[in-house]
């Protein structure tokens, strides 16, 4: 029992031979974000604040595929999306198609708290952000040289990449081969040990995606979900996560089959197509699960009993 | 039935809906008109199924585009999704302004793109690449809905202002204000039912080989913020299909989204072994809280069911055993 927090920086075919200059900044980012999340929990911050502030940090960290450092669409632009959900009330907020909002997760939260809607996209979402006075930046702020290079490689390979540089083929149902690599979507789930649960996810999507493509992150029940049983944030190939209603199913399997969090999370991930799905989840009583069916997943977690972990592979 | 490699031919079934949340004062001619449209859709779908058509191809012609709800800017933004049960392939679109048949574009996203969901400018561009029929945005705008928008804006001015943070959900706040206002005003999505444009349409089908498919299409919520996405294009919320069933929902989009209504029907069947009707009843009763919605569903074994917790839902069902029924009220 007690509080628990888990966060991820993306699942995918993260090569074991990942060079230190690519590995270390991400590990450092995970560690840093874990620390601030734990501090917020210990300070008794509301659970929604905890997941939002962790994801904001992950968005600001340019080595993850969210906020600054987002991967590029086929047009060389950035289109960001995010989603937040409160397990106790099941209130939620989601945004897609953002181009200038510095912290998409914060806009998702404002949609949840200040509109009668749940999900705003594209121009409408951008206009709302300006109305609400959220921090915005020129679209170029979000573009990093690494991602310009990734897009170039993806176009040369004529494929849509999750976000890394080690191409590998994973054909999925919904169309041609999708080049799969390390997904850098970020997410955070937390439980306060008093029934409070929240999930937050943010991403730039798939490298070389079509303009206007929406993935699993802002789809309630796919990439993000929280109810009284657990909070879940998923990462991987969005199209597979949507079809698999991954985040919702973890909670559903706990509720309808009586499985523990770990069992439910493992069940859902193993059931999906190989090399498409990873997730982090926490339960109301402080259990943590971080299963993935890809080669690796950038992740970190901590629980009130003092346990903490930052890892990439098994 | 003999053994061996025999494909068991079951009965097919189809259900359609034309939106949940019906003004109890709706004039009888309008009710009859709606029922005729539903009947016609059922007949179209049934013919296709009778001829052995696959569930995914059976989509009676809807014209949910024209007469769509208007955004607060007075424009139309349409969205739709489709899902094919056997392999759970799906396609969805949002923010369409010129595509005459949104559900067809959703299908093209599913069949001809590497993605599942395209929206706004990107979706419009894809539509042009695919050569689907496009029209000017004002094709979809009707005098009636311009009038509705005006009423909705007036109602919203009284009831709530989007710039003011809401302490409670909108339905609650609106209902409270309406109650103060003299009570008895039926509300849905923060709007009085009399202005509520219930033109979300949906269809679920199971063919004679037990394959299920679901489709939902809408213009969304009257006076919605431009860019607002509801439940109709969201897989697991407004639309879902798998081996066990196909579901299409309608009503308060936000309630359907947070309740992941369509997926929950299937999950109850899959994980708890409930029958289609039991799953539908459970979801309507337990997953909506103060939200108002309805849904139609078919199962892989040929059952058809529907449920709603609001004043009415335009719907119809037909099955291969000759059953055909359309209705509005309970």
Tell me how far apart the alpha carbons of residues A105 and A216 are, in angstroms, rounded to a whole number.
Answer: 15
Between A267 and B163, the higher pLDDT residue: A267
**Mean pLDDT of the region B238-260:** 96
**CATH (residue range A4-304):** 3.60.20.30
Chain B hits for A242, Cβ within 8 Å? 90, 116-117, 235-236
Please check whether residue A241 is in contact with residue A234, taking contact to mean a CB–CB distance below 8 angstroms.
yes
The residue extents of the domains of chain A are 4-304
Q: What is the pLDDT of residues B261-292, one digit of tens each?
A: 999 999 999 999 999 999 999 999 999 988 89
Probe site for chain B from A212, A230, A257 (most B CB atoms < 10 A): A212
* B228 closest CB neighbour out of A85, A124, A248: A124
pLDDT at B8 over 80: no
pLDDT given for residue B193 in this prediction? 56
Q: What is the pLDDT of residues B25-84, one digit of tens each?
A: 888 888 888 888 889 889 888 888 888 877 777 665 444 577 788 899 999 999 999 999
pLDDT given for residue B5 in this prediction? 55
Please check whether residue A232 is in contact with residue A84, taking contact to mean a CB–CB distance below 8 angstroms.
no
Share of residues in chain B with pLDDT > 90 (%)? 55
Quote the tokens at residue B201: 């349409």
Distance from A221 to chain B by nearest Cα, in Å? Answer: 7
The sign of the CA dihedral B230, B235, B238, B239 is positive
Q: Do B119 and A212 touch (CB under 8 A)?
A: yes
Please check whether residue A33 is in contact with residue A308, taking contact to mean a CB–CB distance below 8 angstroms.
no
Between B19 and A227, the higher pLDDT residue: A227
Which residue in the block uniquely carries the two structure tokens 């407004």?
B238
Burial of B86 (0-12, 13-18, 19+ CB in 10 A): middle
Question: Is A201 marked active-site?
Answer: no
Question: Which structural domains are found in chain B, ordered by start?
Answer: 2-138+197-329 (3.60.20.30)
* Catalytic (active-site) positions of B: 200
Tell me how far apart the alpha carbons of residues B141 and A103 are, in angstroms, rounded to a whole number.
Answer: 36
Q: Do B126 and A210 touch (CB under 8 A)?
A: yes
Quote the tokens at residue A289: 């699960």
Among the listed residues A89, A100, A136, A185, the single catalytic one is A185
Tell me how far apart the alpha carbons of residues A213 and A192 are, in angstroms, rounded to a whole number.
Answer: 34
Probe site for chain B from A118, A120, A170, A209 (most B CB atoms < 10 A): A118
Closest residue of chain B to A124, computed from CA coordinates: B227
Query: Hey, which residues does B188 pair with through a beta bridge?
Result: B191
* A242 closest CB neighbour out of B116, B123, B163: B116
What global pTM score does this model have?
A: 0.90
Mean pLDDT of chain B: 84
Chain A hits for B94, Cβ within 8 Å? 121, 214
Q: Do A97 and B260 touch (CB under 8 A)?
A: no
pLDDT at B93 over 90: yes
Tens digit of pLDDT at every position of chain A (314 positions): 799 999 999 999 899 999 999 899 999 999 999 999 999 999 999 999 999 999 999 999 999 999 999 999 999 999 999 999 999 999 999 999 999 999 999 999 999 999 989 999 999 999 999 999 999 999 999 999 999 999 999 998 876 655 544 333 333 333 333 333 444 799 999 999 999 999 999 999 999 999 999 999 999 999 999 999 999 999 999 999 999 999 999 999 999 999 999 999 999 999 999 999 999 999 999 999 999 999 999 999 999 999 999 999 98
Chain B hits for A225, Cβ within 8 Å? 260
pLDDT at B330 over 80: yes
Chain B hits for A272, Cβ within 8 Å? none
* A256 closest CB neighbour out of B117, B122, B267: B267
- Give a three-class secondary structure readout of B230-250: CCCCCECCCEEECCCEEEEEE
pLDDT given for residue B219 in this prediction? 86
pLDDT given for residue B53 in this prediction? 78
Which residue in the block uniquely carries the two structure tokens 């098994």?
A314
Chain A hits for B162, Cβ within 8 Å? 114-116
Which of A176-190, B139-153, B179-193, B261-275 is modeled with the greatest confidence? Answer: B261-275
Task: Report the complex ipTM.
Answer: 0.92
pLDDT given for residue B58 in this prediction? 67
Integer Rg of chain A from CA: 17
Q: Do A222 and B235 touch (CB under 8 A)?
A: yes
* A221 closest CB neighbour out of B88, B170, B236: B236
**Mean pLDDT of the region B149-155:** 84
pLDDT given for residue A159 in this prediction? 61
């Amino acid at each position: 029992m007690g509080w628990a927090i888990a966060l991820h920086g993306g699942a995918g075919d993260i090569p074991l031979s990942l060079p230190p200059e690519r590995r270390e900044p991400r590990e450092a980012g995970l560690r840093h974000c874990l620390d601030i999340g734990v501090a917020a929990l210990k300070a008794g911050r509301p659970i929604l604040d905890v997941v939002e502030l962790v994801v904001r940090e992950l968005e600001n960290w340019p080595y993850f595929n969210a906020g600054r450092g987002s991967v590029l669409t086929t047009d060389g632009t950035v289109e960001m999306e995010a989603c937040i959900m409160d397990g106790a009330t099941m209130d939620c907020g989601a945004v897609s198609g953002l181009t200038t909002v510095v912290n998409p997760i914060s806009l998702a939260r404002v949609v949840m708290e200040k509109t009668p809607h749940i999900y705003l996209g594209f121009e409408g979402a951008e206009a709302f952000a300006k109305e609400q006075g959220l921090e915005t930046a020129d679209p170029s702020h979000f573009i990093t040289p690494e991602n310009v290079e990734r897009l170039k490689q993806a176009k040369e390979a004529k494929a849509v990449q999750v976000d890394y540089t080690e191409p590998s083929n994973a054909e999925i149902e919904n169309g041609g081969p999708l080049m799969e690599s390390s997904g850098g979507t970020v997410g955070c789930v937390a439980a306060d040990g008093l029934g409070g649960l929240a999930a937050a996810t943010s991403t730039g999507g798939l490298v070389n995606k079509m303009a206007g493509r929406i993935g699993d992150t802002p789809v309630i029940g796919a990439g993000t979900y929280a109810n009284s049983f657990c909070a879940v944030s998923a990462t991987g190939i969005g199209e597979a996560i949507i079809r698999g209603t991954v985040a919702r199913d973890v909670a559903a399997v706990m509720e309808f089959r009586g499985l523990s969090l770990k069992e439910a999370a493992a069940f859902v991930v193993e059931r999906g197509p190989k090399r498409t799905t990873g997730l982090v989840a926490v339960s109301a009583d402080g259990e943590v699960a971080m299963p993935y069916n890809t080669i690796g997943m950038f992740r970190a977690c901590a629980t009130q009993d003092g346990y903490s972990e930052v890892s990439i592979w098994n | 039935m003999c053994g061996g490699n025999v494909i068991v031919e079951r009965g097919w079934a189809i259900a359609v809906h034309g939106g949940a949340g019906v003004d109890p004062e709706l004039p009888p001619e309008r009710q009859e008109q709606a029922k005729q449209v539903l009947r016609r859709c059922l007949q179209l779908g049934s013919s296709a199924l009778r001829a052995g058509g696959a569930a995914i191809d059976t989509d009676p012609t809807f014209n949910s585009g024209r007469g769509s709800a208007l955004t607060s800017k007075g424009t139309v933004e349409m969205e739709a999704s489709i899902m094919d049960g056997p392999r759970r392939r799906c396609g969805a679109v949002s923010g369409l302004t010129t595509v005459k048949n949104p559900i067809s574009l959703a299908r093209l996203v599913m069949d001809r793109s590497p993605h599942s969901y395209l929206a706004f400018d990107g979706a419009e561009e894809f539509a042009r690449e695919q050569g689907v029929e496009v029209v000017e945005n004002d094709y979809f705008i009707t005098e009636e809905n311009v009038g509705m928008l005006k009423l909705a804006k007036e109602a919203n001015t009284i009831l709530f202002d989007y710039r003011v943070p809401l302490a409670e959900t909108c339905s609650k706040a609106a209902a409270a204000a309406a109650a103060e206002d003299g009570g008895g005003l039926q509300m849905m999505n923060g709007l009085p039912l009399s202005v509520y444009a219930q033109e979300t349409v949906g269809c679920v089908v199971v063919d004679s080989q037990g394959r299920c498919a679901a489709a939902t299409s809408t213009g969304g919520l009257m006076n919605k913020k431009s860019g607002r996405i509801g439940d109709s294009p969201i897989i697991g919320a407004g639309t879902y299909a798998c081996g066990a069933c196909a579901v299409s929902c309608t009503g308060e989009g936000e309630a359907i989204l947070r309740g992941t209504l369509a997926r929950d029907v299937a999950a109850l069947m899959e994980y708890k072994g409930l029958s289609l009707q039991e799953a539908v009843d459970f979801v309507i009763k337990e997953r909506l809280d103060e939200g108002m919605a309805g849904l139609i569903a078919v199962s892989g074994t040929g059952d058809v069911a529907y449920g709603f917790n609001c004043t009415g839902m335009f719907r119809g069902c037909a099955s291969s055993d000759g059953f055909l029924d359309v209705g509005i009220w309970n």
